[in-house]
Amino acid sequence: MKNTRMKRMQLLLVGLVCSCCALNATVTDYTKGLSIWFDTPNTLEHRAVWYNSRPDMWQGEKKPETAGADMANPDQGWESKSLPIGNGSLGANIMGSVEAERITFNEKTLWRGGPNTSKGADYYWNVNKQSAHVLDEIRQAFIDGDEKKAAYLTRKNFNSEVAYEAWGEKPFRFGNFTTMGEFYVETGLNVIGMSDYKRILSLDSALAVVQFKKDGVAYERNYFISYPNNVMVVRFKADQPGKQNLVFSYMPNPVSEGAMQTDGTNGLVYKARLDNNQMEYVVRIQAIHKGGTLNNKDGKLSVTGADEVTFLVTADTDYLMNFDPDFKNPRTYVGVNPSETTDTWMKQAVELGYEGLFEAHYKDYAALFNRVSLTLNKDAQAVNIPTPQRLKNYRKGTPDFYLEELYYQFGRYLLIASSRPGNLPANLQGIWHNNVDGPWRVDYHNNINVQMNYWPAGSTNLAECTLPLIDFIKTLVKPGEKTAQAYFGARGWTASISGNIFGFTTPLASEDMSWNFNPMAGPWLATHVWDYYDYTRDKQFLKETGYELIKTSAQFAVDYLWKKPDGTYTAAPSTSPEHGPIDQGATFVHAVVREILLNAIDASKVLGVDKKERKQWEEVLGKLAPYQIGRYGQLMEWSKDIDDPKDEHRHVNHLFGLHPGHTVSPVTTPDLATASKVVLEHRGDGATGWSMGWKLNQWARLHDGNHAYKLYGNLLKNGTLDNLWDTHAPFQIDGNFGGTSGVTEMLLQSHMGFIHLLPALPDAWKSGEVKGLCAKGNFELNIDWKDGELNQVTILSKNGGHCEVRYKDAVTTVKTVKGKTYQLAYQNGKLTVKK
């Protein structure tokens, strides 16, 4: 199957590059290989959804400032039937309507809010409450048994004045990720007499395609966004000459002011500023046509009688990431000239043309995506049908191992498309957004969501996609130091529930502490810094970047804890995110503290530094309030045994130590693992998409493959839209990444200091092969199994050192040499190294 797929990819690449053969060529079937596809076109029903498709209704100063802020996306076609493409900076969704292509467009740094609103820098930064002195009173209230007083003091002192919604204050300082507008390409065609329609996203090449026949002509459109050249490429062609009669137009973000200008004879450039914070942005467009005529009058690109047309689009803002912001300078995040950057990118793109751009795009993308392949039950026959029909059949109980492979690889595709070095990390919707505002501001949600986005990065061989997250963490340190000092009198830094691109680390205005009190956001984020090192073993990174982030986060965790009169350390006040009361020792918080302190201890040992501080971390760990098992046999969520076995809340925060942490395991703490299983049984197998994704990982960590597989099935059946995007509802991307991570956990685990092969293999996956997965310690593995049992594994040691491998009850240790490959087979209950 893999050889067939590779041949298919080679043919696909040849077909794409050889556009000189476009006329009278055989139509390529892009639905083969790994592809998401539809056989019915979208409509233009919800174009410019922020206007409810009626721009004429908005006149003068009246603007749709809060459009899209509701939880339900009014554009269901976009949410469930569009095809996402991206390069980490630019993102677009292909709607694929026949009469006029509609493309929603994003640039990841286009944000409202920050220090450059009309009220200036102090209005943005001077928002931390000086609340550290209240901690003693809260803790005394816990000693006195006055939990109401402790809760009241926390609610009144550990929020801020910053509104989380645009209607809550003017100007809106937290801000939100916002659309960069939409493009329309009118074709002069209609659906009457149309046939053979397909709208396809090829994961193998990160290429979207629309194909259909009309009046005896085969039309085709190709779309991709290049990371090497930072440009979106859209090509229209047909199998007969002179059939391209197109009008390209742009609908800009409605809460900005700008103007469209001509850019040479074949282009347009739109220059604008957001109303809220005067962020400057530029959208630059060029057309390359073969045959026919083109003009760029009246703010549109009009093509008549062409054989083929390629539209190139690039964009940028004036945003500059800043690790050392000046709290007095409102323009501290301004530092890019988008007119210059877009002009440079466009000139390079025009020079390369479609063939050169695609060749560079494919080479870059395939070098990442092709690192991992997954084949499940290779002898099973997969019928080639549209993806919505696959999902429909799957929901009815029809096995579909191809769909399970596809969803897995779609998560990897989405991470590559939304998180590349040199830009911001993937947000709540990755990089894709279709409105002025959006659910939860389409922000960086720090109480699981942004972290979940990166769970599959290291294990699925995409470690470099983590670098934007680490840069984001670095932007939080200086502001986070102020937050840590103001609220907790602590060293180091932390963050709170929600982040933006402007270093926001403060709690929000709400007094609902169940979600707004989250001082462990910073330490949780910092654990990803250690994970990046642990997968790559890049000691230079750890020394120059990673260790300081980890160390200062650990310092905050130590200072935040309350040393009780009996000498134990506990988290007071604390909460279990989005669930339950204000507590004097929530299990989730203690689990995160354990994780960051263990990371700091290990990092200091690797570098041979900070022995004195390491000793303090070890002492605090030894006296930290332990995990507790409650009256139902459950791992307790709070310091008191108040868990409700009928509670099916979506968050399972108290199982952090099981996953994504490593302080609960069937191998090392079997009683706590059993108690964790009770929690999962109580919480049930349903919930939001991302929650099912998390539970999938946790069941895998419990080595229960069949239950993990049930959660994977539930995620696909009940938490997945027709285009395979995860839904909360509404759409948010973390569940996709949780699903991909969970499948990997079923096949390979390495968080406990050894490589565990097929720890949660379900009965349904009787045979299979996965290639290219990564284990901590910088090992890369190919695993093959037959009849539900390991056949062999190949291990590439990228760093050298001892490698302990386990399968079932068999354990072996291999002393590896950097760059060498080792083959192990499982026979007669033993793992043996092949000579």
- DSSP secondary structure string, 749-797? E-TTSSEEESTT--TT--SEEEEEEEETTTEEEEEEEETTEEEEEEEEE
Coil vs helix vs strand at 634: coil
pLDDT for 690? 94
Banded model confidence at residue 677, pLDDT cuts 50, 70, 90: very high
List, in sequence order, every beta strand (DSSP E) within 291-400. Answer: 293-295, 301-306, 308-317, 373-376
Query: What's the CA gap between 253 and 273, in Å, rounded?
Result: 10
Q: What are phi and psi of 782, to 5 degrees?
A: -115, 125
| pLDDT 10s digits, 426-456 | 999 999 999 999 999 999 999 999 999 999 9
Residue 545 CB neighbours (<10 A): 19
Beta pairing class for 231-238 and 83-86: unpaired
Of 92, 275, 269, nearest in space to 184 by CA: 92
Banded model confidence at residue 1, pLDDT cuts 50, 70, 90: very low
Enumerate the β-bridge partners of residue 373. Answer: 771
Query: What's the CA gap between 267 and 94, in Å, rounded?
Result: 21
Banded model confidence at residue 399, pLDDT cuts 50, 70, 90: very high
pLDDT for 56? 65
Beta pairing class for 444-445 and 810-816: unpaired
Query: What's the CA gap between 424 and 430, in Å, rounded?
Result: 10
pLDDT for 71? 82
Q: Which residues of 277-290 are buried (b: 16+ CB within 10 A; e: fewer)?
A: bbbbbbbbbbbbbb
Kindly tell me if the per-residue pLDDT of 835 is higher than 80: no
Query: What's the CA gap between 472 and 501, in Å, rounded?
Result: 8
Q: What is the mean pLDDT of residues 662-670?
A: 98
Beta pairing class for 801-807 and 755-757: parallel
- DSSP secondary structure string, 73-126? -S-HHHHHH-EEEE-SSEEEEE---SSEEEEEEEETT-B--STTSTTHHHHHHT
Kindly tell me if the per-residue pLDDT of 135 is higher than 50: yes
Q: What are phi and psi of 778, to 5 degrees?
A: 70, 55
Kindly tell me if the per-residue pLDDT of 23 is higher than 70: no
pLDDT for 149? 98
Query: What's the CA gap between 17 and 327, in Å, rounded?
Result: 50
| pLDDT 10s digits, 570-605 | 999 999 999 999 999 999 999 999 999 999 999 999
Kindly tell me if the per-residue pLDDT of 15 is higher than 70: no
Q: What percent of the chain has pLDDT over 90?
A: 92
Q: What is the mean pLDDT of residues 691-716?
A: 98
Is the torsion defined by CA of 544, 545, 549, 550 positive or negative?
negative
Task: Please tell me the least confidently modeled range out of 65-74, 81-90, 760-769.
Answer: 65-74
Kindly tell me if the per-residue pLDDT of 270 is higher than 60: yes
pTM assigned to the model: 0.97
Distance of CA 342 to the CA centre of its chain: 26
Banded model confidence at residue 419, pLDDT cuts 50, 70, 90: very high
Q: What is the mean pLDDT of residues 751-772?
A: 98
N- to C-terminal Cα separation, the chain: 28
Q: What percent of the chain has pLDDT over 70?
A: 96
Enumerate the β-bridge partners of residue 779. Answer: 775, 797
Please name the residues in contact with 523: beta carbons below 8 A apart, sequence gap of 6 or more: 494, 553, 554, 556, 557, 592, 593, 595, 596
Banded model confidence at residue 57, pLDDT cuts 50, 70, 90: low
Kindly tell me if the per-residue pLDDT of 764 is higher than 60: yes
Banded model confidence at residue 24, pLDDT cuts 50, 70, 90: very low
Banded model confidence at residue 21, pLDDT cuts 50, 70, 90: very low
Stretch (H or E) spanning 236: strand 231-238
Query: What's the CA gap between 8 and 384, in Å, rounded?
Result: 15
Q: What are phi and psi of 683, to 5 degrees?
A: -75, -20
pLDDT for 73? 85
| pLDDT 10s digits, 185-197 | 999 999 999 999 9
pLDDT for 781? 98
Task: Provide, for the chain, the percentages of residues in helix, strand and coil under a 3-state DSSP scheme, each rounded to the nearest 5.
Answer: 35, 25, 40
Q: Which residues of 228-262 are buried (b: 16+ CB within 10 A; e: fewer)?
A: ebbbbbbbbbbbebebbbbbbbbbbbbbbebebee
Q: What are phi and psi of 31, to 5 degrees?
A: -75, -15
| pLDDT 10s digits, 355-396 | 999 999 999 999 999 999 999 998 887 899 999 999 999 999
- DSSP secondary structure string, 151-217? HHHHHHHS--S--SSGGGSSS-SS--B----EEEEE-S--STTEEEEEEEEETTTTEEEEEEEETTE
Q: What is the mean pLDDT of residues 770-775?
A: 98
What's the half-sphere exposure (Cβ side, CA atoms, 13 Å) at 769? 11
Burial of 764 from C-beta contacts in 10 A (0-12 / 13-18 / 19+):
middle
Banded model confidence at residue 68, pLDDT cuts 50, 70, 90: confident
Across the chain, mean pLDDT equals: 95
Q: Cis link prior to 660 (omega < 30° from 0)?
A: yes
Q: What is the mean pLDDT of residues 86-110?
A: 98
Q: What is the mean pLDDT of residues 678-699?
A: 96
CA 120-123-129 angle, to 5 degrees, is 155
pLDDT for 19? 42
Look up tokens 């942005």; give the residue: 281
